Amino acid sequence: MAAAARARVAHLLKQLQRAACKCPAHSHTYSQAPGLSSSEKTTDYAFEDLQNMGAKNICLMTDKNLSRLPPVQVVMNSLVKNGINFQVYDDVRVEPTDTSFKDAIEFARKGSFDAYVAVGGGSTIDTCKAANLYASNPHSEFLDYVNVPIGKGKPVSEPLKPLIAVPTTSGTGSETTGVAIFDYESLKVKTGIASRAIKPTLGLVDPLHTLHMPSQVVANSGFDVLCHALESYTALPYHMRSPCPSNPITRPAYQGSNPISDIWAVHALRIVAKYLKRAVRNPDDLEARSNMHLASTFAGIGFGNAGVHLCHGMSYPISGLVKTYKAKDYNVDHPLVPHGLSVVLTSPAVFTFTAQMFPERHLETAEILGADTRTARIQDAGPVLADTLRKFLFDLNVDDGLAAIGYSKADIPALVKGTLPQMSEYDSPKEVFGIHIDDDSVEEEFKVGISEPKASNLCGNRAYGKSLIPPVARISVKSPAAAEVVATGSENGTVLGRGSRHLKKMTEEYPTLPQGAEASLPLTGSASCGVPGILRKMWTRHKKKSEYVGATNSAFEAD
């Protein structure tokens, strides 16, 4: 593994942590999840939990779609039956914004509640966390607790009211975490609040609530679990962090991968591998949906301590800059890219890149997800995991890359810019993402054009008779060597071109390029399915849904 490549990955992962101060080198602090009750009909006894907390005036938060469904009705009936006073707030927005957060905060401040119950997915639970935080700190301004650099990132010093979280989706794990995410509309980016203080007091994990989820909601929620587990397991380890602050109150919520979070992440990943497809395909499969509900909680405990990295960092502008796309099975009145979908679309590219840093962990996760890694080389860890993810997503009919949700090459600069608020303000985006305008670094900039491709029969990694790797029309990059090699894919798949002994060597290593491929190729790079790694990294979209490709790869990879 090249030292320079490892250093670049380490540098990027460090910058993607969500707090300015990192945890101490060679030490970590595990933050225990809130109390959890997991069983069928556990929500029926919410009133007892509230009575035990001494609560007399309750704020029940949900969204308008859920307010008419059994999960909310069960809680309301329990409260009414036992004479507990409550008010319902059902204006939660799916994929919250700073405006929707502020509306909920105003409601909470006026209500003077002594406890909160959030019934819904991550949007509802996150909104309720924010309402509880700011109502408990009535003199605070909105940006006081919002993450830097957008907000001030102040530590939370005042105790909050009890909050019971009742998750109805299996994705965010928000019932276990000290994070609340929202769209900051004026900047068109996602950011959030991160503090252990906002963790719910109790999570009621009732698998019966998940039976009401449409299949696409199940899939997108499951993708969030998948990436929570993968990202926390491959996050920068706790022993590679810089020293922590002297006061524990300013210690960040995310510690880096560590021996305790690893256990939760791996276990969640095994459940996803076994049950997600079943949960999507059969809404009556209670075993599958129950296990995915637990996987969401387990992954939440893991990433709530370790943190996440590139998939989530890049997902925020993908969601925040949405134009007209409306996801299937989501009854909303505004354009929406579900969080789990925005996260998973970039995952093949991300893990190809991060595998340079922790290849063993990437191979391990690929094996958990079903890859045969017995003969895999350590240097192939990234492509192996990426192809495993492509196959996994292909099986679940995932939208075909960022083009399918309304993005084009022209949007790449805005997507990159939207990712930067998740990173240190001192970083150069050109250095971090490899989008160099300097003529000495690249031949202009990465040029990617995709024509209407024909299915290639040349790639060995196939599913249902269709190639998972589409042919590419043109990619041009600066060769790392003095002499540039140009290769063109012919109809029979052989490599033609000019270039001396380097071309001969490349022809021997990569005898089958996709039909229609025309590229200025580097003289180095790993092969996967007979295609040079540099090509795989730069595919941004593909028009045929039968051949899944997952990300705007070239714009976000330092290569």
What is the band of 547 on the pLDDT scale with cuts at 50, 70, 90?
very low
313 or 114, which is more confident: 114
In the prediction, which pLDDT does 416 show? 76
Per-residue pLDDT tens over the stretch 251-261: 776 778 899 99
Instruction: Say if residue 270's pLDDT is above 80.
Output: yes
Identity of the highest mean pLDDT range in 48-52, 146-150, 291-295? 291-295
CA atoms within 13 Å, Cβ hemisphere of 480: 6
Task: Show Cβ contacts of residue 442 under 8 Å, excluding neighbours closer than 6 positions.
Answer: 436, 477, 478
Per-residue pLDDT tens over the stretch 208-230: 999 989 999 999 999 999 999 99
In 3D space, the residue among 471, 447, 451, 454 whose CA is nearest the CA of residue 531 turns out to be: 471
**Burial of 544 from C-beta contacts in 10 A (0-12 / 13-18 / 19+):** middle
Rounded to whole angstroms, the Cα distance separating 421 from 191 reads 8
Length of the chain: 559
List, in order of start, the domains of the chain with CATH numbers. 3-20+223-432 (1.20.1090.10), 35-212 (3.40.50.1970)
What is the band of 3 on the pLDDT scale with cuts at 50, 70, 90?
low
Per-residue pLDDT tens over the stretch 389-415: 999 999 998 876 788 888 888 888 888
What DSSP string describes 208-258? GGGGGS-HHHHHHHHHHHHHHHHHHHTSPBGGGSPPPPSSGGGS-S---B-
What is the band of 243 on the pLDDT scale with cuts at 50, 70, 90?
low
Per-residue pLDDT tens over the stretch 414-456: 887 777 665 533 222 223 333 332 322 222 222 222 221 222 2
Instruction: Say if residue 14's pLDDT is above 80.
Output: no
Per-residue pLDDT tens over the stretch 198-208: 999 999 999 99
Residue 522 is encoded by which pair of tokens?
């580097």
Task: Show Cβ contacts of residue 313 under 8 Å, excluding neighbours closer than 6 positions.
Answer: 16, 419, 422, 423
Per-residue pLDDT tens over the stretch 120-164: 999 999 999 999 999 999 999 999 999 988 899 999 989 999 999
DSSP state of 94: S
Instruction: Say if residue 36's pLDDT is above 80.
Output: yes
In the prediction, which pLDDT does 289 show? 96
Tell me if 24 sits within 8 A of 241, measured CB to CB.
Answer: yes
Instruction: Say if residue 516's pLDDT is above 50.
Output: no
